[in-house]
Amino acid sequence: MSQSTISTSESSQTGPQPRRMHHTKMPTLVFELSEEVDRYVAGQIAALIRQKQANGEKPVLGLATGSTPIGVYRELIRLHEEEGLDFSNVITFNLDEYWPMQPDSIHSYHRFMWENLFHHINIPKENVNIPDGTVKLSKVEEWCDAYERKIQEAGGLDLQLLGIGRTGHIGFNEPGSSRNSTTRLVTLDPKTRKDAAGEFYGEENVPMQAVTMGVHTIMNARQVIMLALGEHKAKIVRTAVEDEVSEQIPSTYLQKHPNSIFVIDAAAASRLTAVRIPWMAGLVEWTPALVKKAVIWLSQRVKKPLLKLEEADFMENHLINLLRHCDKSCEAIVHEVFMEMQNGICTRPGGDKPITAICFSPHPDDDVISMGGTLITLADQGHDMHIAYMTSGNIAVFDEDASRHAKFVNQFLEMFKLDSDNTSKMHEKLLNDLVVKKPGEPDSPEIQAVKGLIRKTEAAAGAIRAGVPESKLHFLDMPFYQTGDVKKKPIGEDDVTIVANLLRELKPDQIYVAGDLSDPHGTHRVCAQAIIRALDVVKAEGVEPEVWLYRGAWEEYEPHEIERAVPLSPAVVHRKRSAIFAHESQKDQALFPGSDEREFWVRAEDRTKNTARVYDDLGLPEFFALEGFVQYRGQL
C-alpha cells in the first residue's frame, strides 16, 4: 500500500463506526444514516490531504457530481472553515460533464462544483480541472487525450470519488464500456437521461452525450471510494458488489481494484444478501424484528400461510438457528408473528375518541396519493383532520398548464369586464415568459407563482373530496423549497419554526409524515427532517403527538415493516381515486414521474391492493386494499 493510500480497515475518526458487510466481492461499509457516510468519506479525504501535505506532496483528487456527494462536500467545507483543512495545493479532476454544455448553465457540472465546493474553500482556480462541455466536436478527441496527459503529469489520481447510476454506470461509463476505456465523448443511456429529467425539466431537454473519464482512468486511481445513498440505489448496489464482473454493469469493474471501498447508508444496503436475508449469510443476532422478518419471508418462500408453517419448513430453509434461539416450538413462534400482524390491522386509526391529527404532505398531492384512504377514514370517523402542504410543488407543472390557466383568467376578466391595463400587461408578460424561456431553465417568479396557485387549488379540491374542509388546510410554503430550481436549499431554522408554530397551534394527537425517504437530499426527507426538528422544539412545551410514517407514492412498506395496516373498502378506494384526480396538472403524465411511468392513481391502487393480497397470502383477513404505516421512534 502506498503512503498516499488510506487504510479501509481502520479509521481514526470518532463517531459511529461502519458495519463491514460479508458476502460482497468488494469491501462494503454500511452506516445507518447518510450523514454518517458523509462525515466518514470527508474524513478519509481530509486525512489523505493532510498526509500528502505532511510529505510535501500535492494531493490529487478525482471528484464526482450529482446529489450523492453533496453531503461530503458540505462536510469538507466545514472541515476547511472550522478545522483549517487546507486546499491550497490540492489538484482536482472532475469525472464528467454534459456535452454540449456551457459552464455557466444551471445544469453544468462546472457550475455545480464551484457552487457546492470550490467557492467555499481555498483551492486555486488553476488547480481545478473539469471536462469542457463547449469543445467543438472535431476537437473533442484531442481535448480528451490532453485531459488524460494532465492527470498523468499531476502524478495520477490519489483518490477517486464516485457515485453509482441506476444502470451501474460510474462517471458516464454506461453499460458496454470497456475496461480499457479512457476519457472520451459518450452517448448517454436512456435510463440515465430519464433519471436526469427532473433537473432538466423534461427528458427531452437532457443532453444526449457527455465527456467522461474512462474506466481505465478510474481504475488507475490509487484509491477509489464509491458512494450510494437511499433505497432507489439498493438494487444496483447489490448487483455491483455481489454479481460477477460485467461490462454491462461498469461499477462491477471495481471489484478488481486493489484499494476500493463502497460506502453506503442502510437504505442503499437494504437488498444486500447479508441485510435482506442475513440468516442465509451466516449466524445472526436474532431480534424480535428479525424474527418477524424471517418468518414472513419463510411463509412467502414456501407459499404457505403463516399458521400452516411446519418445523420442516424452518429446517429446510436455513432457519434452524431461529428455532434454537427462540427455544420455542415452531407453532409458538409463528403464532406470535401472526398475532402481531393481526393486531396491527386497524379499522379506527384515530381511536374511539375524537382527536386532532395532521397529515404533513411534502408536495400538494402526497397526502391523497399515499394515505388518501386513511385520510377519508379519519375524516369520516369524526376526527379533526388537518393537512399541511409543506411546499408549493410549482416546479412540477407543465408550461402548457400555466399558459392555459393564464388565458382562462384573462378571458374571465374580459368576459365580466373586470380587465384593466395591469391585468392585460401581466397576461402578456406571463405568456412571453413562457415563450422566451430556454429549455431546462427555471421559470420567472410570476410563472412560479401561477404554477404554485395551480397546485394549491388542486390540493384543496383533492382534500375536500377526501373529506377535509378547506378551513383545515395549511399551506406552509417552506423557504427551503423556494429556489425556483429542482435543487433545493438545506433545511433552515425558518423552515423548522414554521412547522413548530403549526404544532403549537393545533396541538395534534397524531401526525402523519411522508416516509418515502429514498433520496437523502430529496424533498420528502428534507421535509421529514424539518418535522422531527420541530417536534424536538415543541416537546418541552408538552406537544408530543404520536408520529406515523406513510408511503405509497414510490414504494410501499414490506409486510414485516408494517406496524399499522388500515383497510380500505372499494368505496373508499374510489373516493381516494377521485381525490387524486383533482390534481389535474399531475394527471395522465406527471412532469417528474421517476422510474415508474404509471399514473399516480394506478400506482397507489396497485400498491394498496398488493399489500392486501400479501396479507391474504399470509393467512390474515382478506381486504380489498390496505395502507401501511410505521411508527416513528426516533430515527428516519
- Mean pLDDT for the chain? 92
**Which contiguous run of DSSP H or E holds residue 224?**
strand 224-228
- Mean pLDDT value of segment 343-371: 97
Confirm if 204 and 210 have CB atoms less than 8 A apart: no
Confirm if 330 and 323 have CB atoms less than 8 A apart: yes
**According to the model, what pLDDT value does residue 202 have?**
79
In the three-class reduction of DSSP (H, G, I as helix; E, B as strand; rest coil), residue 57 is classed as coil
Question: How far, in Å, CA of 632 to CA of 385, rounded?
Answer: 19
In the three-class reduction of DSSP (H, G, I as helix; E, B as strand; rest coil), residue 511 is classed as strand
**According to the model, what pLDDT value does residue 497 have?**
96
264 phi and psi, to 5 degrees? Answer: -135, 165
pLDDT single digits (tens) 305-345: 999 999 999 999 999 999 999 888 999 999 999 999 999 99
**According to the model, what pLDDT value does residue 503 have?**
98
| HEC profile of 334-378 | HHHHHHHHHHCECCCCCCCCCCEEEEEECCCCHHHHHHHHHHHHH
Identity at 142, one-letter amino acid code: E
- Mean pLDDT value of segment 566-577: 98
Identity at 326, one-letter amino acid code: C
Confirm if 532 and 514 have CB atoms less than 8 A apart: no
Closest CA to 92 of 133, 48, 54: 48
Out of 97, 174, 231, 605, the active site residue is: 174
pLDDT single digits (tens) 2-18: 333 444 444 456 678 89
pLDDT single digits (tens) 469-498: 999 999 999 998 887 665 667 788 999 999
Q: Could you tell me the sign of the dihedral formed by the alpha carbons of 518, 270, 15, 87, in that order?
A: negative
- Mean pLDDT value of segment 422-444: 91
Q: Could you tell me the sign of the dihedral formed by the alpha carbons of 299, 302, 305, 306, in that order?
A: negative
Q: Is 310 labeled as catalytic in the residue annotation?
A: no
- Mean pLDDT value of segment 362-373: 96
Question: How far, in Å, CA of 341 to CA of 227, rounded?
Answer: 36
pLDDT single digits (tens) 197-235: 878 877 888 999 999 999 999 999 999 999 999 888 999
pLDDT single digits (tens) 390-419: 999 998 899 999 999 999 999 999 999 999
Is residue 58's pLDDT more than 50? yes
**According to the model, what pLDDT value does residue 470 have?**
97
Would you tell me the crossing angle of helices 288-302 and 330-343 to the nearest 10 degrees?
A: 100
- Mean pLDDT value of segment 514-531: 80
CB atoms within 10 A of CB 461: 17
- Strands 564-568 and 625-631, sheet pairing: antiparallel
Residues near 187 by beta carbon (within 8 Å), at least 6 away in sequence: 174, 208, 209
pLDDT single digits (tens) 151-168: 999 999 999 999 999 899
Question: How far, in Å, CA of 564 to CA of 546, rounded?
Answer: 13
In angstroms, the first-to-last Cα distance of the chain is 38
Is residue 242's pLDDT more than 90? yes
Question: How far, in Å, CA of 181 to CA of 286, rounded?
Answer: 46
Domains of the chain: 24-274 (3.40.50.1360), 277-343 (no CATH), 356-395+444-631 (3.40.50.10320)
**According to the model, what pLDDT value does residue 208 have?**
96
Identity at 315, one-letter amino acid code: M
pLDDT single digits (tens) 117-136: 999 999 999 999 999 999 99
CB atoms within 10 A of CB 244: 9
Question: How far, in Å, CA of 543 to CA of 634, rounded?
Answer: 16
**According to the model, what pLDDT value does residue 484 have?**
63
**According to the model, what pLDDT value does residue 516 have?**
75
